[in-house]
Structure 1
Amino acid sequence: MESHKEYVSGLGKESKIPPEIKGWNWGAFFLNWIWGIGNNTYIAFLMFIPFVNFIMIFILGAKGNEWAWQNKKWKDVNHFKSVQRKWLLASLGIIGVFFPLLFLSVSSALKGEAYDQSLSIIRENQQVIEMVGKPIEPGYFILGSISTQGPNGQASLEYNISGPKASAVVYVYANKHAGTWNLEQVVVNDEENHKKINVIPREN
């Protein structure tokens, strides 16, 4: 049986790859060029080339362990595994912070005049009050899109509301004309209790 001494790292392509480290490297996949600097794998800078970067993240994930072993000196296999595990944990930590912040920023951008108008009308609608109870509180997140071109625009929004009796999903369609938002349709849907209220029905 071959001993671990034969697997010497940091010799470039002359380094034999230990069977124990073969496999996917999530740190290289998620942190790509940052991981590349820390592991002397500068081919990861191809991430800065448009179109190539999309393919490169998968190549880094598949070849990351091999390249890191070849390009950097490691004490032994256990040392290598320990460091790569830290890269994985670091990537998960960054993702755990980045994506919620991104989602919150997108939701904040959608909380404009159309959103405010729809929430105000919903809170005053007696049918909605009877369905979910009072006070009516909106959820933190908003889905959808808003597009504007000069004084005109369109909005398609979806968000949750809740009250003492039930929760529901709100669907909003609005148009902006001459700088003013007008609600075209507002629907409140309680899927659990199979109730739907057309607060502002769409005109045919």
Structure 2
Amino acid sequence: MAVQPLNQSAQIPPELDRWNWGAFLLNWIWGIGNNTFIALLALIPLVNIVMIFVLGARGSRWAWRNGTWRDAEHFRRTQRNWAIAGLVVWVVGIGGCAATVGSVPYILKGNDAYRMTMDVIRADERVKAAIGDDMTDNFWIGGHINVEASGTGDAQFGIPIHGARGKGTVFSHLVRNAGQWSMRLLVVRIDGVDAPIVLKNEDHVPIPNAAIGI
């Protein structure tokens, strides 16, 4: 014999008909757990943007109608647990993404190619005259590093720098052969100055009349 739910009425009590954070935060996962399979629409691109708000607004009604609840407290406690689970998932997810993004500058700056670039820049008298002896790099930098198992590789950087006298951006391109990095291009553009400081241009990139090829 089928077990009859104690919430015989499909009409949810007014005190339970509130915004459902579990449905909003976990959408389709919450839907499967609460027999509310319309929540699977949240898996459809673009539709999901609207659906998560629909679930937040109507989730409690659907969960009440589709579930088996001993009483109002049972329903309230279950939905509260879903909300807590959703919050934990989002906090962990956002924290993980932030940690991943925040680690990128450390990875780039920990490479020998980056250190070689900055060593040359810090030793150049023209750069020190334009930026200052206290020149330092910003935390956020651009670029990429690719190193093959064979010992070859390629590295390109766009490094904002600043000091007491000014600001600028370093553009560098290095290649790796037999485990050793060599500088192919190193240019510093000083903010407010048209002509860049060219420290290295082994591939004869046209500067400044053409875009720097990195």
TM-score by length of 2: 0.60
Which residue of structure 2 lines up, in the alignment, with residue 119 of structure 1? 118
> Is 1:166 aligned to residue 160 of structure 2?
no
In structure 2, the gaps of 5 or more residues are: 1-9, 38-42, 205-214
Moved beyond 4 Å, runs of 4+:
20-23, 41-44, 53-57, 66-69, 71-75, 78-96
Q: Hey, what's the Cα distance between the residues in 2 that align with 1:108 and 1:99?
A: 15
Offset from partner CA, 1:60-104 (integer Å, 9 cap, x none): 7356435565267676xx999988887786566446533332123
Show structure 1 runs of 5+ residues with no match.
10-17, 45-52
Give how far 1:174 is off.
Answer: 0.7
Question: 1:202 and 1:42 mapped to 2: Cα distance?
Answer: 66
> What are the superposed Cα offsets for residues 96-154 of structure 1, whole Å, 9 maximum, x if unpaired?
53333212322222221110011000001111111111121122233221112221011
For 1:54 and 1:169, the matched residues in 2 are separated by 42
Find the partner of 1:61 among 52, 57, 72.
52
Matched AA of 2:185: Q
Residue from 98, 106, 109 that aligns with 1:108: 106
8 Å contact kept, 1:136–1:161: yes
Q: Does 2:11 match 1:6? A: yes
Conserved in 1, the CA contact under 8 Å of 2:20 and 2:83? no
Structure 1 CA distance for aligned equivalents of residues 177 and 44 of structure 2: 39
Q: Which amino acid aligns with 1:7?
A: I
Greater shift in the superposed pair: 154-163 or 111-120: 154-163
Identify, as 1 or 2, the structure richer in strand. Answer: 1
> How far apart are the structure 2 equivalents of 1:85 and 1:159?
43
**CA distance 1:162–1:90, change in 2 (3 Å):** farther
Question: Which residue number corresponds to residue 33 of structure 2?
Answer: 40
Give the Cα separation in 2 of the matches to 1:137 and 1:114. 17
Q: What is aligned with 1:28? A: 26
Partner deviation per Cα, 1:11-38 (whole Å, 9 max, x = no partner): xxxxxxx6x6499x66237xx86xx49x
- Deviation of 1:42 after TM superposition, in Å, equals 8.7
Shift of 1:161: 1.5
Distance in 2 of aligned mates of 1:42 and 1:115: 54
C-alpha RMSD of matched pairs (Å) = 4.5
Distance 1:54 1:107 in 2: 34
Structure 1: which amino acid aligns with 2:187? V
SS of 2:139 mapped into structure 1: strand
Q: What is the letter of the counterpart of residue 203 of structure 2?
A: E
Structure exhibiting the larger radius of gyration computed from Cα positions: 2
For residues 155 and 42 of structure 1, what CA distance do their matches in structure 2 show?
Answer: 52
